[in-house]
Amino acid sequence: MDHAAEAQRTDLMTITRHALNEQGRHPESRGDFTILLSHIVLGCKFVASAVNKAGLAKLIGLAGETNVQGEEQKKLDVLSNEVFVKALVSSGRTCVLVSEENEAAIFVDAPLRGKYCVCFDPLDGSSNIDCGVSIGTIFGIYMIKDKDNATLEDVLQPGTDMIAAGYCMYGSSCTLVLSTGNGVNGFTLDPSLGEFILTHPNIKIPNKGKIYSVNEGNARNWDAPTAKYAERCKFPQDGSSPKSLRYIGSMVADVHRTLLYGGIFLYPADKKSPSGKALEIVPSEIHQRSPIFLGSYDDVEEIKSLYASESSTA
């Protein structure tokens, strides 16, 4: 055994150590957020384990129900939702929970109530479970002003009010990507230690990418700016090489690739889903959907300019 190498492994930056370091930057902090994050991490570890043995444990297949978005629930969907609800409630730091798998918001009982609202999709991309494609958990954390008198209106906050957000991707490795407003960091689960280790510090998206990611099957329902942008990706006007199309159909996987490699991910409004997915929107109900365009700065600016041109001529 290489004892020096083994000793070095104790100096790793775990997600807990990272959170404590961030907590130290805020003297007024009481550690509530760090405790909440540790419970989210526990939920991610549990779901990662369940995903890895889903076929063996007979967790693949349909549960016989549909969620609030009209999507058929898988058995693993239901299990993952129960895991995260219990983990978040038992943290004693949450007040309201909003899950894609539950039609109504969950208000935590007073004795266990804290100051945070957590909105989450316990298992995004679950239609890909049975074929082994990467899937993931998505979460956003908000502050509730008055935990003792919380209402549904307190939950309907714009994305700009989020104090933290992240996702955990379950694939060839289990990766948790987190932002608390001070950069974006990625942590990979080391199965031998049972710890998430910092492997992607201070992630920066390249200014321009070579990949575009969108469901071309919905092309006939797109508005003019999105259709024009997709056309430019395939047939650039400046004579440059066309962008490569990469679309997994699991948002966590598509966004993760975009973060690391650059390019753009598009979930545009269309005739079927006309609402938008943007941070500034104040939602009118907890399961509201909206379009989203995210990725490299130059690529996002290009599609923004197309929408600006459309608006100016309207």
Rg (CA), the chain: 20
First to last CA, the chain: 71
16 shares its domain with 151: yes
pLDDT of 277: 47
What single-letter amino acid sits at 6? E
Structural domains of the chain, count: 2
pLDDT of 276: 47
- Contact call for residues 210 and 219 (beta carbons, < 8 A): no
> pTM (2 decimals)?
0.89
Supply the CATH number for residue 246's domain.
Answer: 3.40.190.80
Supply the CATH number for residue 71's domain.
Answer: 3.30.540.10
Question: Vertex 159, ends 288 and 88: CA angle to 5°?
Answer: 80
234 shares its domain with 120: no
Q: 181-194, pLDDT tens digit by residue?
A: 889 999 999 999 99
pLDDT of 27: 82
**pLDDT classification of 99: cutoffs 50, 70, 90:** very high
Q: Pairing state of beta strands 113-124 and 164-170?
A: unpaired
Whether pLDDT at 8 is above 90: no
Helices and strands: H and E segment counts in the chain: 8, 14
How far is residue 15's CA from residue 178's CA, in Å, rounded to a whole number? 9
Residues spanned by the domain of 221: 211-312
Collapse the DSSP code of 265 into the 3-class scheme (helix H, G, I; strand E, B; otherwise coil) and give the result: strand
How far is residue 276's CA from residue 289's CA, in Å, rounded to a whole number? 6
Residue 85 is encoded by which pair of tokens? Answer: 């609800």
Q: 26-71, pLDDT tens digit by residue?
A: 888 889 999 999 999 999 999 999 888 776 656 555 555 556 555 5
